[in-house]
């Protein structure tokens, strides 16, 4: 199936790196991603961001409900799109985009108390479902969104993919959180298509990201 040419990223105003998370992510999409005709940003818009379709949205609900609402808004404008976060970094050329999962929802562990409540709520909806909320982009079809109802404090990607009954691909998650040295970064990302980061971004990781993606993207004013 042909890759969508719309990239959608929901964005809130909160940032720990002056929205350089998004800046570098967009550079990685331009370096390794498929052809993108439209960048859709719903939420906050940094002053340096250019050449995008921006829809203002003030986060007013829980994180999970805000995400669901923003994806619904995106689906009102585009039939198909790639849904990504501002901290998803492409590490190699993207020729396809499977629906990645980390195994059965019932077996997932590793989140904090609040996040595990979201996992449990999602599990109740899909007791035989897979956990699709790994830190990777995902293709969204608006026809699926039309029939997807929000359930309080649930995980959007797992709800979407299990509702759509997609053929998922088992994937070892790629989020890098906490302090890590440059040599360890290179070992960690070996053979991985994506990298994701946490709210705390150590100095070595910031430098590594800037060195990997030094060229401005077409979406940057400065």
Question: What CATH number did the domain enclosing 163 receive?
Answer: 3.90.550
> Is the residue at 159 inside a domain?
yes
Report the distance separating Cα 124 and Cα 117, nearest Å.
Answer: 11
- The secondary structure of the chain in percent helix, strand, coil, rounded to multiples of 5, reads 35, 20, 50
The answer as to whether 219 is a domain residue is no
In a domain, 218, yes or no: no
pLDDT at 25: 98
Question: Could you give the strand order of the β-sheet that contains 53-55, starting from the edge strand earlier in sequence?
Answer: 53-55, 38-43, 6-11, 80-83, 138-141
- pLDDT tens figures, 53-101: 999 999 999 999 999 999 999 999 999 999 999 999 999 999 999 999 9
Containing structural domain, residue 159? 6-212
88-90 β-sheet, strand order: 88-90, 194-197, 175-176
What pLDDT score was predicted for residue 113? 94
Query: What pLDDT score does 174 carry?
Result: 84
At 178 the pLDDT is 77
Query: What residues of the chain score a pLDDT lower than 50?
Result: none
- Is residue 1 in a domain? no
In a domain, 157, yes or no: yes
Residue 26 lies inside a defined structural domain of this protein: yes
DSSP 129-169: -B---SSS-EEEEHHHHTTPPP-TT--HHHHHHHHHT--EE
Burial 177-193 (b: 16+ CB within 10 A, else e): eeebeeeebeeebeeeb
Q: What is the number of structural domains in the chain?
A: 1
Token digits for 28? 């990685």
Whether 127 is covered by a domain: the verdict is: yes
Strands 138-141 and 80-83 come out as: antiparallel
Tell whether 202 is covered by a domain.
Answer: yes
């Amino acid at each position: 199936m042909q890759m969508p040419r719309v990239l959608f990223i929901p964005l809130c105003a909160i940032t720990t790196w002056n929205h350089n998370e998004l800046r570098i992510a967009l550079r990685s999409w331009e370096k390794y991603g498929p052809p993108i005709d439209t960048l859709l940003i719903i939420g906050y818009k940094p002053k340096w961001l250019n050449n995008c379709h921006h829809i203002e949205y003030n986060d007013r609900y829980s994180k999970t409900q805000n995400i669901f609402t923003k994806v619904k808004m995106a689906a009102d404008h585009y039939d198909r799109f790639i849904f990504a976060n501002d901290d998803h970094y492409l590490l190699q050329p993207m020729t396809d985009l499977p629906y990645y999962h980390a195994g059965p929802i019932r077996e997932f562990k590793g989140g904090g108390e609040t996040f595990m409540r979201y996992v449990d709520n999602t599990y109740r909806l899909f007791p035989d479902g897979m956990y699709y909320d790994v830190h990777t982009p995902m293709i969204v079809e608006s026809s699926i969104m039309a029939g997807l109802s929000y359930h309080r404090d649930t995980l959007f990607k797992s709800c979407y993919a299990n509702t759509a009954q997609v053929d998922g691909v088992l994937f070892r998650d790629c989020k890098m959180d906490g302090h890590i040295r440059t040599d360890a970064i290179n070992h960690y990302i070996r053979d991985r298509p994506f990298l994701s980061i946490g709210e705390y971004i150590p100095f070595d990781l910031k430098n590594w990201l800037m060195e990997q993606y030094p060229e401005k993207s077409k979406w940057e004013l400065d």
